[in-house]
């Protein structure tokens, strides 16, 4: 994952919303007698978060093709939840080590 916040601040990354069509809409088709031979089907689609980042050659500094990464909103939510869980776990571990240190200092 790129450092989006800093990359955005430096105007190297742009976030956009893109629509992915998984199944196009189909119009209803009737025969000459009015009998439906193809039922209407609504379009099936979902949105993705697209991050486009400028890329440069580290050797020459010349511009390379942009990097494009796509995430679903569910992906973003899952990453946030995972990081929050890790933070909670690390905070708990830190508090345990601080308690050990405090109890040790109390023995002196």
pLDDT in tens, 2-24: 689 999 999 999 999 999 999 99
Residue range 23-31: mean pLDDT, rounded: 94
pLDDT digits (tens, 9 = 90+) for 40-97: 999 999 999 999 999 999 999 899 999 999 999 999 999 999 999 999 999 999 999 9
pTM: 0.68
Query: What span, in angstroms and rounded, lies between the C-alpha atoms of 73 and 80?
Result: 11
Angle at 22 between CA 14 and CA 30, to 5 degrees: 135
- pLDDT of 86 reads 97
Query: What span, in angstroms and rounded, lies between the C-alpha atoms of 20 and 50?
Result: 11
- pLDDT of 108 reads 79
CB 47 within 8 A of CB 16: no
CB 66 within 8 A of CB 55: yes
């Amino acid at each position: 994952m790129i450092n989006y916040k800093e990359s955005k601040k430096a105007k190297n990354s742009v976030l956009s919303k893109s629509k992915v069509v998984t199944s196009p809409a189909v119009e209803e088709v009737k025969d000459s007698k009015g009998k439906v031979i193809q039922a209407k089907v609504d379009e099936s689609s979902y949105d993705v978060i697209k991050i486009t980042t400028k890329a440069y050659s580290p050797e020459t500094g010349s511009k390379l093709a942009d990097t494009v990464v796509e995430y679903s909103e569910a992906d973003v939510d899952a990453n946030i939840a995972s990081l929050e869980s890790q933070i909670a776990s690390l905070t708990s571990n830190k508090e345990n080590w601080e308690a050990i240190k405090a109890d040790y200092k109390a023995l002196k």
